[in-house]
Structure formats: C-alpha cells, structure tokens
Amino acid sequence: MPRLVDAPSNIQVLRASNLLNSLSEEDLLNLAAASSMYHANRGEIVWMRGSDVSFFGIVGVGFVKMLRSTASGQDVTTEVMGPGQIFGLLGAIEGCSCPQTAQAVCNTWLLKIDKQRFLDIYRENVVLKERLLSRTTGRLRTSYDMFARMSTGHVSQRISTILLMLADSYGVDTGTSIDLEIPLTRQDIAEMAGTTVETTIRTLSNWQKRGLISTQHKRISIIDLGEIQNLQH
C-alpha cells in the first residue's frame, strides 16, 4: 500500500506532543535517538490487548484508534489518537500489558518510543509527572464515556461522537464554524465510528443538507455545534 506522505522526523513528532514538549532539549534529543518511526497501513494492528511491548507511541501523521471488547465480543472504539497524541503511555509507566488494542485508522506514521529510556527521564522529572497526572483523570472519563456511546449508540450518535472528539483536539473556532484542521476521508470516519463508508456518506450528506456541517476537500466544518451535540442523546 503506498505511503501517502513522507515520514516526519522523530524530533518533530516529540515537539508536537503537548505532554513531552515540556522536556529539556537534551531529554528530547535523547528520546528521539531512542525512538523509531514506523509506517502502519490502514487497518494494521499496532498491538493487541494483553500484549507486552517495549514501546509506546505518538502519532506523527494519521490516526490510531484504541479498541476495547464488549461482553458480546464486539470491538468498540474508546479513543482516537491523532497527530501529536500519545497512546500506551500509562501502561508503560505502570509496567502492565496493553489494556486495549491499538489499530491504525488510515496510513499512519507513528513514533515508537522506547519505554525504558522514557522511564529514566520520567522518574526524575516532577513537572512531567504533574502534567501527566492532571490529564489522566479527564482522559479516562472521556474514554469511558466514549466507550458507552460507541457500544450502545446508533450510527448518528457514533459519528457525532467522533466529530466532537476531533473538534475538541483539532477544532478551530472561526466564529461561524468549528473547522477540523485535519484531513479526513469518509473511510477514516467510518473506521472510527464502526460503520460502513456508505452509511457514513449518507449521514454526513444529510447533515450537510440540514446545515449542520460543511465539507470540502477532506475537511469538515461543524456549523451547528449545538445540534451535533444533541445528536448524542
């Protein structure tokens, strides 16, 4: 499968992380040297739930979704990680196996960071510990909330959940809309929402006709945020 974009550099991806960009230049360079850029094809499993891996990841280009199984065995998306976002870090710190499956949504570049090299830095960095702690509670709450919606909600609920989550991380408020500053194909959204491309196209087309969103060149703008939020109920 062709690689759609060139790989970013290790240091570029580290600096794009809101958590790790607080590290000193020396620590960033050390982490960059201990990391490797990896290309995952659409649908590729980065790791399975229960796996023991020697790294955690930061998305450079593309998206990685985190999956958890329901009691019936259905895989449900609990989080979608985009450029600059870290996945698998808590497991690295706690020394446990991967609690969720990580899967590439689309052709994705991700930075694999050596766990042990990171832990050497983490143990001595009080600021990094505080920043991680402040983010953990909110992220876990969001993850459980998303799991509930994605496992029980109908298609419009699931797609609206994905759009709102992406808007929270990548949305730019222009005053008249919230523009998602990342390219998204209909297939990307379908993969995240656990539905078909055809259903995703119909749903987004309906919302566009109703004036809730606008789409252009793989970009989505949320026009009526309140109504998109109402679709979750």
The CATH number covering residue 24 comes to: 2.60.120.10
Distance of alpha carbon 31 from alpha carbon 78, whole angstroms: 28
Please report whether residue 142 resides in a domain.
no
Q: Based on the domain organization, do 167 and 107 belong to the same domain?
A: no
- Helix axis angle, 197-209 to 186-193, nearest 10°: 110
Q: Are 18 and 101 part of one and the same domain?
A: yes
15 with 124, same domain? yes
Are residues 163 and 102 located together in one domain of the fold? no
Residues 162 and 57 in one domain: no
Are 163 and 228 contacting, i.e. CB atoms less than 8 angstroms apart? yes
- Tell me: do 95 and 177 sit in the same domain: no
Does residue 22 fall inside a structural domain? yes
Residue pointed to by tokens 């891996």: 53
Residues 116 and 181 in one domain: no
Structural domain for 215, as ranges: 155-230
**Nearest C-alpha neighbor of 53 from the set 105, 6, 97, 117:** 97
Instruction: For the chain, state the CA radius of gyration.
Output: 18
CATH of the domain at 218: 1.10.10.10
Within 10 angstroms of residue 161's Cβ, the number of other Cβ atoms is: 23
Q: Tally the domains of the chain.
A: 2
Per the DSSP assignment, residues forming a β-bridge with 179 are 172, 221
- Please check whether residue 40 lies inside any domain of the structure: yes
**Rounded to 5 degrees, what are φ and ψ at 82?**
-115, -170
Sequential pLDDT tens for the chain (233 residues): 444 578 999 999 999 998 898 899 999 999 999 999 999 998 999 999 999 999 999 999 999 988 888 777 777 888 888 999 999 988 888 888 888 899 998 899 999 999 999 999 999 898 888 888 767 666 666 666 766 677 767 899 999 988 998 898 889 999 999 999 888 889 888 888 888 999 999 999 999 999 999 998 888 999 999 999 999 77
232 DSSP assignment:
T
